[in-house]
Amino acid sequence: MAQTQYTEENIRSLDWKEHIRLRPGMYIGKLGDGSSADDGIYILLKEVIDNCIDEFVMGAGKTIEISIPGDKVIVRDFGRGIPLGKVVDVVSKMNTGGKYDTRAFKKSVGLNGVGTKAVNALSSFFRVESTRDGKSKSADFEYGNLVTEDFLEETSRRRGTKVVFTPDESIFKKYKYRNEYVERMLKNYVYLNPGLTIVFNGEKFFSENGLKDLLEDNNSAEDLLYPIIHLKGEDIEVAITHSKTQYSEEYHSFVNGQHTTQGGTHQSAFREALVKTIRDFYGKNYDASDIRKSIISAISIKVMEPVFESQTKTKLGSTDMGGELPTVRTYINDFIGKQLDNYLHKNPETAEKIQRKIMMAEKERKELSGIRKLARERAKKASLHNKKLRDCRIHLGDMKSERRLESTLFITEGDSASGSITKSRDVNTQAVFSLRGKPLNSYGMSKKIVYENEEFNLLQAALNIEESMEDLRYNNIVIATDADVDGMHIRLLLITFFLQFFPELIKENHLYILQTPLFRVRNKKETIYCYSQDEKREAIEKLSGKPEITRFKGLGEISPDEFKHFIGDDIRLEPVMLDKALSIEELLQFYMGKNTPNRQKFIINNLKVEVDLVDQE
């Protein structure tokens, strides 16, 4: 067997921008096109805003202005401004930045000094402009390369830093910023920084009550069991309530203003402290799952030099608060143990409601215990003896953490559709769950149905969400059904299931609809896939003459070779989002309840009929 040569010529040294562009995932997680809240273009935006937030935290600049006209992002703060002699260095030299000097930034978000360099390297255009002491300096870059550098000039502009960048479309293919995701990010920033104003495309975001506002804005008042418990300390803030209808636990956790979507040591310590405090207050050894069932909460802590488990900072790994402070676990336990206990003593009505909720959860758990045991055995047996779930390799070894954000489960119906996806998928990150026929309409049913219904039980087991969302096996859950009446109905039934029993999967943007092409238009030289009638008409005009037109009536009709395009780099996902104007109960009642006349009127008023002239020919 021939040996591969390994000499000095095989050794390469990459400069800072080449390494970032070659391995962007190391710096910003997954890439994506903007359809997911954790796609790279939002991480680029976050990295720039984090620097503005650090200025606010240090007492410099109370307003941040952001606009996204088309594919360009503009961020302006009114902080201290980058020292003018270092404007180029801080956005283009690794290991350069003020975050290494704890005298300037004590509890900052971006500690490693990499953030803006990654934005610069991954942008086709990047401009930084700093104003301070009546002078300004700016520099323009393309793909991380310095193009122009404007020397110091006198100015009357307010001090601060302005960054303009356009993500590189060769890396973030066909990307698009979704205002819903940007607004959620900005709201989190103002919740965590009362007194800060962020203006986005002319709309102001501001919070007076911090995490209390977060829970109020994300939940309807009618769904909350009792008024939100809001506790604040020097380096910690907590908001707690319970839902009347939600089954599982919901946590929003933050460290130094960073949204730790994967939790970490602080979230684990909070869950532990909550259980201990409740047990001590009532003098009863309640089961932890009963105490935490239906909880909706948020926790924010500030840590000196936090250690995160990845560059995207989604999970805290630190065990210490920093300095002479105790461990994260001890600090949170002491705070919750004292402050929550005091609150419950002063608010007996809330304490009584919490105890009743725990007792109801305990009763239901005991009633379901036998069913759960049988369901687990059934799920285990089914996973061994049938092919409902075709898993991926993401859960093995180092890949588990490195590509976790890419882990995807396609939920599809029918052998032909699941077969096409299975043959086309990336076996490392994409799994397939095959439904058998239409799922049950679960609206108004109790959690018991999740265990008694085979499809729901196996789906829950595949997602690994029985105990906690922290154990969610796949970051992206994609409903892949035909674009016909039956396919739409299956989508609705699955969304109902998730809304009814696992709404935080939708609240935290894990649920998507797979968009597949309706038409293929081609001639001998080119093939164009079209996702709408308008795209089809444009394709026909582009290819001219009489191109061959194929109408895909189902996923099973798309060959595996073609399907690779639609679930690979060019995948189109439509996120399932909640309308904040309606509660979950109102949504389910309207779409799945027995309000037939109202629903019929809605369908008639909103029905859109498109006539396909080509198909008529």
The pLDDT of residue 323 is above 80: no
> What is the rounded distance in angstroms from the CA atom of residue 416 to the CA atom of residue 208?
54
Q: Could you tell me how far CA 435 lies from the centroid of its own chain?
A: 26
CA distance linking residue 149 with residue 91, whole number of Å: 13
pLDDT at residue 10, rounded to an integer: 43
Amino acid occupying residue 215 = L
Residue 546's pLDDT is what?
Answer: 85
Average pLDDT value for residue range 304-321: 65
Phi and psi at residue 506, in whole multiples of 5°? -85, -45
The full set of domain ranges for the chain reads 16-205, 211-363, 386-516+552-585
CA–CA distance, 109 with 100 (Å, rounded to integer): 12
> Helix, strand or coil for residue 574?
strand
Q: Which pLDDT band, with edges at 50, 70 and 90, does 1 fall under?
A: very low
Alpha-carbon distance 284 to 332, whole Å?
22
- Residue 50 · residue 24 · CB < 8 Å: no
Higher pLDDT, 133 or 229: 229
Which element (helix H / strand E) includes 528?
A: strand 527-530
Beta strands in 155-279 (DSSP E): 160-167, 197-200, 203-205, 229-232, 236-242, 250-255, 258-259
Question: Are 530 and 519 contacting, i.e. CB atoms less than 8 angstroms apart?
Answer: yes
Predicted TM-score of the model (pTM): 0.80
Q: Is 153 exposed, middle or buried (0-12, 13-18, 19+ CB in 10 A)?
A: exposed
The confidence band for 196, taking pLDDT boundaries of 50, 70 and 90, is very high
**Residue 128, φ and ψ in degrees, nearest 5:** -125, 135
How far is residue 563's CA from residue 114's CA, in Å, rounded to a whole number?
37
What pLDDT is stored for residue 107 in this prediction?
A: 54
Distance CA 585, CA 166 (A): 41
Number of H helices, E strands in the chain: 22, 22
Answer positive or negative: Cα dihedral of 554, 559, 564, 566: negative
Domain spanning 16-205: CATH 3.30.470.10: no
Residue 397, C-beta contacts closer than 8 angstroms, at least 6 positions apart: none
Rg of the chain over CA atoms, in angstroms?
A: 26
Averaged over 459-463, what is the pLDDT? 88
pLDDT digit string, tens, across residues 492-547: 889 989 988 888 888 888 999 998 888 889 988 899 988 888 899 999 988 888 88
Beta carbons within 10 angstroms of residue 285's beta carbon: 7
Q: Is 160 left (phi over 0), alpha (psi -120 to 50) or beta?
A: left
Least confident of 151-155, 266-270, 393-397, 399-403: 399-403
- Specify the higher pLDDT residue, 366 or 355: 355
Fold of 211-363: Ribosomal Protein S5; domain 2 (3.30.230)
Domain 386-516+552-585 has CATH 1.10.15.40: no
Cross-strand bridge partners of residue 297: 240, 251
d(CA 518, CA 611): 14
Least confident of 123-132, 297-306, 429-438, 553-562: 553-562
Burial of residue 255 (CB within 10 Å: 0-12, 13-18, 19+) is: buried
Mean pLDDT confidence for 564-575: 84
pLDDT at 12 (0 to 100): 44
User: Is residue 554 left, alpha or beta, with left meaning phi > 0 and alpha meaning psi from -120 to 50?
Assistant: beta
* Cβ atoms 277, 341 nearer than 8 A: yes
Exposed / middle / buried, residue 127 (Cβ in 10 Å: 0-12, 13-18, 19+): buried
* Strand, helix or coil for residue 407: coil
DSSP assignment of 457-510 equals HHHHHHHT-SS-GGG-S-SEEEEE--SSHHHHHHHHHHHHHHHHH-THHHHTT-
pLDDT in tens, 63-104: 999 999 988 999 999 999 989 888 888 888 765 444 434 443
Least confident range from 151-160, 325-334, 387-396: namely 387-396
